[in-house]
Amino acid sequence: MAQKKCQVAVLISGSGTNLQALIDAAAAEDAGFELCAVISNKADAYGLTRARDAGIPAAVVSHRDYADRESFDRALIECIDGHGAELVVLAGFMRILTPGFVRHYSGRLLNIHPSLLPKYQGLNTHQRALDAGDAEHGVTVHFVTEELDGGPPIVQAVVPVEPGDTAGILAKRVQQREHSIYPLAVRWFAGGRLRMDGERVLLDGELLPPSGRVIRD
Ligand code: GRF
């Protein structure tokens, strides 16, 4: 009998190119995971269309319908758990989550952030890397903890910063890597190979370095 696949909920707020990469990766026979729900806090997020086109249950939980972060996050939890999710993947979800939410999914909540964490937590990461004159930039998939963009890294992809790069050009180069490392991390998790251990991450029982597994061009 086929083994049960890891059930993954993806939270989005926008276009969902990372979601698309996960939809495509889940279609592989040996993927080991399937998307059980796509949930957006915005009704017009294009990622919802991607989900519906792929036959994945799509839901909107609008933060505008709730008086505070706590009640919004409780509604999100109800929706996610109602779909039987074992892993929760943040893919361009533009809301700050409460400590209660993060604790509820401790060790099974992933985020992707477009910088080589711990550099450039927060927004405008590509411009900040350019302004700093960095020779390299990149993207990090990490477990989420209560510190914003601060949980332990699982995998980083490093790209060069080229002369003449603009924030837009650099964003595109980084995004290409996002679309390969996010499915990679989800496959690791689904295969039971990945575990958060305090401030560090274990892959196949071995402690990863503080930057996680580092992938270069
Ligand atoms: C990506 O740049 C990701 O790194 C950040 O949000 C963006 C989402 O893009 N967390 P998309 O909606 O997946 O295209």
Query: 133-148: per-residue pLDDT in tens?
Result: 999 999 999 999 998 7
E strands, the chain, in order:
6-12, 33-40, 58-60, 87-90, 109-113, 136-143, 153-160, 194-197, 200-203, 206-207, 213-216
Structure confidence at residue 48 as a pLDDT band (50, 70, 90): very high
Ligand 1 centroid distance, CA of 179 (Å): 10
CB 196 within 8 A of CB 107: yes
User: pTM above 0.85?
Assistant: yes
**Which ranges of 13-98 would DSSP assign to H, the alpha helix?**
17-26, 46-53, 69-82
Q: What is the pLDDT of residue 217?
A: 74
What is d(CA 194, CA 185) in angstroms, rounded to the nearest whole number?
8
Q: What is the pLDDT of residue 2?
A: 63
Check pocket membership of 16 for ligand 1, CB cut-off 6 A. Answer: yes
Q: Decide if 113 is catalytic.
A: yes
Of all protein residues, the one whose alpha carbon is nearest to atom 12 of ligand 1 is 16
The structure tokens listed for 208 are 């990863």
Which amino acid is present at 55? G
Q: What is the pLDDT of residue 1?
A: 53
Q: To 5 degrees, how large is the angle CA 108–CA 109–CA 111?
A: 140
From the CA of 47, give the closest atom in ligand 1. 12
Q: What is the pLDDT of residue 148?
A: 79
CB 153 within 8 A of CB 141: yes
Q: What is the pLDDT of residue 118?
A: 96
Check pocket membership of 91 for ligand 1, CB cut-off 6 A. Answer: yes
What pLDDT digit, counting tens, does each position of 151-209 carry? 999 999 999 999 999 999 999 999 999 999 999 999 999 999 999 998 899 999 999 99
Could you tell me which residues come within 8 angstroms of residue 152 by beta carbon, excluding any fewer than 6 positions away? Answer: 142, 143, 145, 196, 198, 199, 200, 201, 210, 212
Structure confidence at residue 80 as a pLDDT band (50, 70, 90): very high
Q: What is the mean pLDDT of residues 73-96?
A: 97
What pLDDT digit, counting tens, does each position of 2-26 carry? 679 999 999 999 999 999 999 999 9
Lowest mean pLDDT, pick from 53-62, 83-92, 103-112, 141-150? 141-150
Q: Which of 113, 126, 142, 179 is the catalytic position?
A: 113
Residue that has been written with the tokens 């109800």 in this structure: 78
The structure tokens listed for 216 are 């270069």
Check pocket membership of 48 for ligand 1, CB cut-off 6 A. Answer: no
CB 88 within 8 A of CB 109: yes
Indicate the Cα dihedral angle 30, 202, 209, 112, nearest 10°: 60
Q: Residue 216: is its pLDDT beyond 70?
A: yes
Average pLDDT, the chain: 96
From the CA of 90, give the closest atom in ligand 1. 10
Q: What are phi and psi of 142, to 5 degrees?
A: -140, 155
